Amino acid sequence: MRRRDVLQYAALALVAMPLEDMSPFAGAASDTPNANLPRRKEMSNINERVASYLAVWNERDPVRRRELVAKTWAENGRYIDAHRNADGHASIDGMIETAQRQFPGYHLRLVSGIEAHNGYVRFRWAAGGTEGAPLYLGGTDFASTASDGRFQSVVGFVDAAPAR
């Protein structure tokens, strides 16, 4: 198995793993029975939200993509990076559609663990580096969550991109 395939497999496994299972304190006993249940649910929701976020960027069907945008971002959610800026569901959907036209054949994948605390999330992604999408792109996204668990804002940074 190639290194990239192993990393992709490991990243997908991390999406399914609650964050507290990756903590050095995982399994630590609590004085209060079930004290960790709300945190476990919150962390699991973060994993699901990141998986949904990546799915939005990869979804080419406009109807399904709009559904995923609504599931992932709060109504007044925002996305911003060095080249894009979108506010609200319609604007985010349009921005992603434009990026998909700009980079046909590219699919975002998780390449790190998901770190979350106090309503903030950080994770790394990559796209390309394949025969159908030869240029490798990679980045780190930081998100804040709304009270309902959806992303309020996502700030993206590109860590690896072709030279201009």
Instruction: Please count the structural domains in the chain.
Output: 1
Q: What per-residue confidence (pLDDT) applies to 135?
A: 83
Q: How many CB atoms lie within 10 A of CB 40?
A: 14
Residue 73: domain span = 3-24+32-160
Tens digits of residue pLDDT in 5-53 = 433 433 444 443 333 343 333 333 434 444 444 444 454 589 999 999 9
Q: How many CB atoms lie within 10 A of CB 68?
A: 21
CATH number of the domain that residue 123 is part of: 3.10.450.50
Residues pairing with 127 in the sheet = 137
Strand 120-127 to 85-87 pairing: unpaired
Under 8 Å between Cβ of 93 and 61: no
Smallest CA-to-CA distance from 143 within 58, 73, 96 is with 73
Tens digits of residue pLDDT in 72-126 = 999 999 999 999 999 999 999 999 999 999 989 899 999 999 999 999 999 999 9
Q: What per-residue confidence (pLDDT) applies to 9?
A: 39
Q: For residues 79 and 93, what is the distance between their CA atoms, to the nearest angstrom?
A: 10
Q: What per-residue confidence (pLDDT) applies to 25?
A: 35
Widest pairwise Cα distance in the chain: 56
Q: What per-residue confidence (pLDDT) applies to 133?
A: 87
| Distances, alpha carbon 139 to alpha carbons 61, 63, 130, 147, 149, in Å | 24, 27, 17, 26, 23
Q: What per-residue confidence (pLDDT) applies to 60?
A: 96
Joined together, the tokens standing for residue 71 give 């599931």
